[in-house]
Amino acid sequence: MMDGSDTQSLQWRKLTSEDLQAMLVIEQAAHSHPCSSSVLLSFLNRPTAQVWGVIKGQKLLGFSIVSVVVDESELINIAVHPQAQGKGLGRQLLQQAIEQLPDTVRGMFLEVRQSNEAAIALYDRMGFIETGVRKNYYPTKQGRENALLMARDFSLES
């Protein structure tokens, strides 16, 4: 069973193309419209992307993908296997991703499904504010739904 509750045994590391299959399992289990293996692989191979994973034993429990361009970053994806959700791993993954950013990065942007209340609450707790809406951005089983745009300005933090 995937259990992220024992934080003493968790390890954090940058992921590589060797982690692609484990990432794909989590992506498919955690998202209604998952990214393809080719999209995940493109981020693993992109020099401007930081892909972090949380591992317990030999098992990948979750990952984050952040794109960094000059002095800005964008949270592309964060996914925790459903069996390991609800234990704070999403918050820890986001915190790890932020801590590993170059000092020159002034902020982070993200898009989140309007219906993803758990993620929105996490981003609120982590200091992100809503900056806009993209209408009909994400596909759903019934059609499309809005994306909330959120941002955190690191230059305002001391």
Catalytic residue among 74, 111, 137, 145: 111
pLDDT in tens, 21-33: 999 999 999 988 8
Model confidence at 156, pLDDT cuts 50, 70, 90, reads confident
Angle, CA 27 vertex, CA 85 and CA 54 arms, to 5°: 55
The DSSP line for 58-127 is TEEEEEEEEEEETTEEEEEEEEE-GGGTTSSHHHHHHHHHHHTS-TT--EEEEEEETT-HHHHHHHHHTT
Per-domain residue ranges for the chain? 10-156
What is the average pLDDT across 115-125? 94
Class of the domain covering 10-156: alpha beta
Catalytic residue among 18, 72, 74, 123: 123
What is the average pLDDT across 60-69? 96
- Between strands 72-80 and 107-113, the pairing is parallel
> Helix 117-125 crosses helix 89-99 at what angle (to 10 degrees)?
50
Catalytic residue list contains 111: yes
Mean predicted lDDT score pLDDT of the chain = 92
pLDDT at 1: 40
pLDDT at 69: 93
Q: Do residues 67 and 46 lie in contact, with contact meaning Cβ atoms separated by under 8 Å? A: yes
Name 51's Cβ contacts closer than 8 Å, sequence gap at least 6. Answer: 14, 15, 43, 44, 63, 64, 65, 66
Residue 158 scores a pLDDT above 70: no
Model confidence at 140, pLDDT cuts 50, 70, 90, reads confident
pLDDT at 8: 59
Question: In whole angstroms, what is the distance from residue 29 CA to residue 122 CA?
Answer: 20
pLDDT in tens, 91-111: 999 999 999 999 999 999 999
Question: In whole angstroms, what is the distance from residue 158 CA to residue 84 CA?
Answer: 33
Q: Is 10 helix (H, G, I), strand (E, B) or coil?
A: strand
Catalytic residue list contains 138: no
What is the average pLDDT across 128-157? 93
pTM for this predicted structure:
0.91
